[in-house]
Chains A and B, each alone.
Chain A
Amino acid sequence: MNVLDIIKPENQVFCKTKLMTDTTLSYCPGCGHGTAHNLTMEVIDEMGIVADTIGVAPVGCSVLAYDFMNIDITQAAHGRAPAVATAIARCWPDKYVFTYQGDGDLAAIGTAETIHTCNRGENIVIIFVNNGIYGMTGGQMAPTTLEGMQSSTSPYGRDSKTMGMPIKMTELVANLPGVYYATRQSVHTHKHARKAKKAIRKAFENTRLKQGVSFIEIVSNCNSGWKMTPLEANEWMEEHMFAYFPLGDIKVNGKLK
């Protein structure tokens, strides 16, 4: 059998995500953003809702998400994506609106918008990629940086006495009645990515049913910021990040687990 005989649509087991553009990703090799983008776009494609979907990109590593996601998208000021999404969802109640934000964006500068958008129960999906560091600005301490973890602004390690403990946003917002679904996922292995995709799908289904906020945290890595190889970063993430930010559902169908 010739190779060309095998290359047929019916034999295809993997292909580029339809709603991703051909633009080369600006993310570092090994970074989880690309997978998180893919999964989100796959869900929108599979649900057939692209004409009714409006994305909101943040400031941070994924500021250029609109270069990679082949959907209508608006890029918000730092931390304000939930406010931007609120208005879009209110003005277009039948559309699917999602924000895609990092930890600096969502858990530091945009905390007020995050909390109040969740409290109002806006009918949106929030995808929160938590890699415990400010990636784009070059490895500064994030609100989710682990205790003792070094960064360019905590060069001797995060000291909880003066810098506080890393903030658990998903647990925090899960306690708000406006949040219908809160889960923590990761995308570093195929198995985890498949689970994360299911969660994203559930979130967009919740939007369809107008259930309020679906909040998906994706614990991810930042090998550049963490100064590790991609493999080391994933191992470190499993050992340390997951210990503090345990994976799994926190609130499902409006009920805390």
Chain B
Amino acid sequence: MSELKLMKGNEALAEAAIRAGVDAYFGYPITPQSEVIEYLMTERPEERTGMVVLQAESEIAAINMVYGAASTGKMVMTSSSSPGISLKLEGISYLAGAELPAVIVNVVRGGPGLGTIQPSQADYFQSVKGGGHGDYKLYVLAPASVQEMADFIEDAFDIAFKYRAPVLILSDGLIGQMMEKVVLKDQKERMTDEELIEKYDSWAATGKTNRKRNIITSLDLESEKMEKRVHRLMAKYERMEKEDMRYEKIACDDAEYLIVAYGSSARISQKAIELARAKGIKVGLLRPITLFPYPKQPLFELADQVKGILSVELNAGQMVEDVKLAVEHKVPVEHFGRTGGIIHTPEEVLEALEQKIINNERIGHYKTRESSIL
């Protein structure tokens, strides 16, 4: 039965994983996401569903365990936080290269280095611009609520198996630690081994029967073959852009100004919009739900409607680059964000909007410059 509960984001994600019929979880404790493995260990998922849960000796071992289970077609996931994700990046690159389905969760904390255990969105570049080595991308989902922490598990696995590619759920310490009400879905049956072998017989390494052997590798020593592999990956990413890009528009219909924000920043910005509208300033919010594929077209179109855009992020200015690329200099784009684990308030966001966008002299300049070019 689906049920309504009050839960931490990390716990909701863990419970949703059990209910989604995930086969295996491999992880290593790190603040602020340790509740995921703690919850799983406490819940005895091996008894509830037969799910394998193992605490690895390191994040590196954990991601390679994910690679192993994924090689055999199992629904497998891991979670960590920023420094741990840095360690996992080699393995993530291998998952992408070997075309394996897997889900990775990053409950982001501030960096660089050991940084802080407080919330942050400073892993945007790492998540959407590769991170690991080589030509690959991750499909990146950015939850903005505890409900989405739970819901995105199934969404992520759907995408991972649709494309046979690793999917990243990019959360942050705020969403991971805060408690909200969440509706949990019914328990799904895990696929049996027989069903799995039948379904993924064309690629999964489950033991060679009367078919040709299945080999999982990311290696192609022949350049032509390797280029073909890269092209195959690029084709997947193009298809993701066409079929699976997700975003949400809030109060955009009459907006004169726009905030772009994802995850916890989107939640805070939503409040800032209310404050602005109470003052008579018409602001809308575009919330990218997928950070790759990025909602470029909706942003490009909104740029014709609004006078300026503020990218609100818990970092020193990362997604703002993608906003600028998307709007192609039609309007001024500015960044606002706190770092070091400080979470901006809605008032600060509104203040930044007024200072950086509404009172930005360049707004008029842009409109006249554009017409003068024409």
A interface residues (Cβ-Cβ under 8 A, vs B): 50-54, 56-57, 63-64, 66, 70-77, 80, 83-88, 90-92, 95, 112-113, 115-116
Contact = CB atoms under 8 A, between A and B. Distances in A.
Interface in B40-65: 52, 54, 56-58, 60-62, 64-65
Contact of A74 (B62, B208, B217): B217
B206 interface: yes
Interface string B65-109: 111110110101000000000000011001000100000000000
Contact of B213 (A64, A70, A86, A115): A70
B188 to A, nearest CB: 17
Nearest to B67: A84
Contact of B68 (A56, A66, A72): A56
Contact of B64 (A51, A66, A84): A84
A77 B206 contact: no
A73 B215 contact: yes
A52 B218 CA distance: 23
9 contacts: A51-B207, A56-B68, A64-B219, A74-B205, A77-B90, A80-B60, A83-B68, A86-B68, A87-B24
Nearest to B50: A91
Contacts of A115: 57
B193 interface: yes
Interface residues of B, number: 39
A63 B219 contact: yes
Contact of B206 (A54, A64, A83): A54
Given A64-B219, A90-B24, A91-B24, 17 more contacts: A50-B207, A54-B72, A54-B206, A54-B207, A73-B213, A74-B67, A74-B98, A74-B205, A75-B98, A75-B217, A83-B62, A84-B67, A84-B71, A87-B65, A87-B68, A88-B71, A92-B206
Given A77-B90, A77-B94, A87 B66 contact: yes
A113 B62 CA distance: 10
A70 B72 CA distance: 17
Contacts of B69: 87-88, 90-91
A143 to B, nearest CB: 18
Interface string B2-31: 000000000000000000000110100000
B206 A76 contact: no
A76 B205 CA distance: 13
A165 B91 CA distance: 30
Interface of B: 23-24, 26, 52, 54, 56-58, 60-62, 64-69, 71-72, 74, 76, 90-91, 94, 98, 193, 205-209, 213-219, 221
A63 B216 CA distance: 12
A115 B56 CA distance: 12
Nearest to A122: B54
Contacts of B98: 74-75
Contact of B209 (A51, A80, A83, A85): A51
Contact of A112 (B58, B74, B207): B58
Nearest to A85: B68
A88 B216 CA distance: 13
Nearest to A70: B213
Contacts of A95: 206-207
Given A75-B217, A83-B64, A91 B72 contact: yes
A85 B74 CA distance: 14
B91 A77 contact: yes
Contacts of B57: 112-113, 115-116
B61 A88 contact: no
B213 A71 contact: yes
Given A66-B217, A87-B65, A92-B193, A72 B205 contact: yes
A112 B216 CA distance: 23
A87 B60 contact: no
B61 A113 contact: yes
A52 B206 CA distance: 7
Residue from B52, B56, B64, B217 whose CB has the most chain A CB atoms within 10 Å:
B64
A9 B72 CA distance: 37
B101 to A, nearest CB: 14
A52 B208 CA distance: 7
A112 B59 CA distance: 11
Nearest to B218: A75
B207 A53 contact: yes
A140 to B, nearest CB: 20
Contacts of B91: 77, 80
A70 B208 contact: yes
Contacts of B207: 50-54, 71-72, 95
Nearest to A59: B219
Q: Max chain B CB contacts within 10 Å: which of A64, A66, A71, A84? A: A84
